[in-house]
DNA sequence: CTAGGGTTAG
């Protein structure tokens, strides 16, 4: 182009830059950046936003920021690109700070902020911003609605979800395919498989995302039969499964312990569908073997898989070893994990616990010192319950709630009643340096049990109690919920980090396999 | 009529 003496026009650069952004090719992008600077066309706002848009994907948000700082006039589109750039790299505070400085905000920049919060797992903030947007007189479009539904899914509050569904229908989005797909996922993550089925049943047309969302919904609720059924059915309807579909179906097998079925499906990816298993699929298989206590198979897969295992893979193996008390392999996995992520809280806590159990006090000291030095602490247990249109949060041994006294009194009552059902606190779930009495208290105050008691106090009599937990539910809390479902004749639905537990009449839908 | 926000996945 240059040799024929045709000057490239500015449109060419926006095309090149968006290609660079997709390729995540930082060096090539910088060459274009320099060329633009040298030719004094950096004042073109189309070029500005294309440049800003390229950097976050290349892992160079700092370059985007310094470039942005040089612009004296902050264009709305360019600022929005900064908001979404910071959101993509997980720096939501920086995104918000730019957002707050913007004047005359339009729909797109509000949407960028909403999806930023949704993807940063701050659903409450996303919904709050959505409300503010409407109060400022701006009506959402389809894209906004999708982000809001996704935020509500992460929040997990069913009443809020139902309200949003009505809003979506009332505003004319109820027939759009992507909206219905998002609603399927929302109901699943809010613990309502019924809602999921209802939305799916009313859809006039479906695509691979609809079917995949259904399969994943059944997977997280432990209904492997329906997950497999829907997988068959989508084949009959000539909908081609994609790689996400396989993540869902393999997860379903993992949650139900169906090793053979999982193996076959994993093999069929290549044999029947010509889909190369990715890291995620290998992760599902490690999970499948790990949960089923086939730790040798899990390790073999990790060591022979065609790509380098990442933090999630080693974490999955480590978690399986923790559950099955396989300390030696667990230590190995934790160490590999720490090589990839030296600040991983779970691996530190796990190592320290293994060493404590084996009375290797020197090692315990080393790990704790390193944690203190790096400022690492264990992620705290956090549980939530929705009540009267409000989401109430509880940490372990939390006394911050306004009705804390009442809740703790109730907890004692509940524990007394559960003792009739032979409930005995299982302190092996707690591995810190506490004496037995302290352990017992720490266990009873596990965050899960607090929202349950609050649900008993405030909820309608006989209604289902829905709890959302940030970590994997511990064995003692699981046992507690099962017994409580019988003793109080209540359905209790707990969403933990990876799946749902439906407790009813003394047993759980996961059949104690999780 | 070429910039910025998007549903399924651990």
Q: Which domains, ranges and CATH numbers included, belong to chain A? A: 280-378 (1.25.40.10), 382-508 (no CATH)
- Distance from CA of residue A386 to its chain's centroid? 19
Residue A339 burial (CB < 10 Å; 0-12/13-18/19+)?
A: exposed
HSE, side-chain direction, 13 A CA sphere, residue A412: 5
Which nucleotide, over all strands, has the C1' atom closest to the CA of A140?
B5
Residue A226: CB less than 7 A from any atom in strand B: no
Q: Enumerate long-range contacts of A336-341, CB under 8 Å, 24 or more apart.
A: A336/A309, A337/A311, A340/A310, A340/A311, A340/A314, A341/A311
* C1’ B1 / CA A46, Å: 14
CA dist A29 → A9, A52, A61, A341, A360 (Å): 17, 11, 13, 29, 52
Q: What are residue A384's DSSP bridge partners?
A: A393, A468
pLDDT at A434: 58
| pLDDT > 70 fraction of chain A, expressed in percent and rounded | 95
Residues 105-134/A with CB < 7 A to strand B:
106-109, 111-112, 115, 119
Between the CA of A4 and the C1' of B10, what is the distance in angstroms? 51
Residue A68 near residue A38 (C-beta atoms within 8 A)? no
Residue A316 Cβ < 7 Å to strand B = yes
pLDDT number for residue A219: 96
Residues of chain A predicted below pLDDT 70: 1-10, 21-23, 428-438
CA dihedral over A335, A340, A342, A348, signed as positive or negative: negative
| Closest nucleotide to the alpha carbon of A153, via C1' | B7
Q: 3-state DSSP call for residue A123?
A: helix
Strand-strand pairing, A492-495 and A465-469: parallel
Report residue A202 as tokens: 């009313």
**Residue A328: both structure tokens together:** 């030696």
């Amino acid at each position: 182009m240059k040799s024929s003496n045709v000057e490239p026009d500015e449109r060419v650069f926006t095309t090149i830059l968006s290609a660079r952004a997709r390729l995540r090719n930082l060096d090539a992008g910088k060459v274009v950046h320099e060329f633009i600077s040298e030719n004094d066309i950096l004042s073109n706002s189309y070029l500005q936003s294309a440049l800003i848009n390229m950097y976050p994907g290349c892992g160079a948000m700092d370059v985007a920021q310094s470039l942005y700082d040089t612009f004296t006039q902050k264009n709305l589109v360019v600022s929005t690109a900064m908001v979404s750039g910071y959101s993509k790299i997980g720096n939501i505070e920086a995104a918000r700070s730019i957002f707050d400085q913007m004047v005359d905000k339009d729909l797109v920049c509000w949407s960028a902020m909403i999806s930023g919060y949704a993807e940063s797992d701050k659903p409450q903030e996303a919904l709050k911003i959505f409300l503010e947007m409407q109060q400022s007189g701006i009506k959402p479009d389809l894209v906004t609605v999708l982000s809001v539904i996704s935020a509500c899914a992460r929040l997990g509050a069913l009443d809020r979800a139902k309200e949003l569904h009505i809003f979506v229908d009332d505003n004319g989005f109820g027939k759009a395919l992507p909206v219905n797909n998002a609603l399927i996922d929302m109901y699943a993550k809010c613990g309502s498989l019924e809602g999921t089925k209802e939305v799916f049943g009313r859809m006039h047309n479906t695509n691979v995302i609809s079917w995949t969302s259904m399969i994943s919904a059944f997977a997280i609720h432990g209904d492997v039969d329906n997950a497999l059924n829907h997988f068959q059915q989508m084949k009959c309807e000539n909908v081609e499964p994609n790689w996400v579909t396989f993540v869902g179906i393999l997860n379903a097998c993992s949650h139900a312990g169906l090793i053979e079925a999982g193996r076959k499906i994993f093999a069929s990816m290549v044999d029947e569908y010509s889909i190369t298993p990715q890291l995620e699929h290998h992760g599902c298989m490690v999970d499948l073997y790990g949960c089923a206590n086939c730790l040798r198979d899990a390790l073999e897969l990790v060591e022979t898989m065609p790509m380098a295992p990442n933090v999630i893979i080693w974490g999955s193996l480590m978690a399986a070893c923790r559950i099955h008390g396989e300390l030696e392999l667990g230590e190995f996995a934790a160490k590999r994990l720490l090589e990839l992520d030296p600040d991983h809280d779970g691996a530190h806590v796990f190592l320290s616990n293994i060493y404590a159990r084996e009375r290797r006090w020197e090692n315990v000291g080393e790990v704790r010192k390193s944690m203190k030095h790096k400022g690492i602490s264990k992620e705290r247990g956090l549980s939530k319950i929705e009540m009267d249109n409000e989401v109430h949060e509880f940490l372990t041994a939390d006394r911050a709630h306004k009705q804390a006294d009442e809740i703790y009194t109730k907890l004692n009552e509940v524990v007394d009643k559960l003792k009739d059902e032979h409930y005995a606190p299982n302190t092996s779930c707690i591995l810190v340096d506490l004496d037995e009495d302290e352990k017992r208290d720490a266990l009873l105050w596990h965050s899960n049990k607090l929202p349950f008691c609050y649900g008993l106090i405030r909820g309608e009599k006989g209604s289902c109690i829905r709890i959302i937990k940030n970590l994997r539910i511990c064995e003692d809390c699981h046992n507690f919920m099962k017994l409580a479902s019988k003793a109080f004749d209540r359905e209790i639905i707990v969403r933990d980090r990876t799946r749902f537990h439906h407790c009813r009449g003394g047993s759980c839908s996961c059949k104690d396999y999780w």
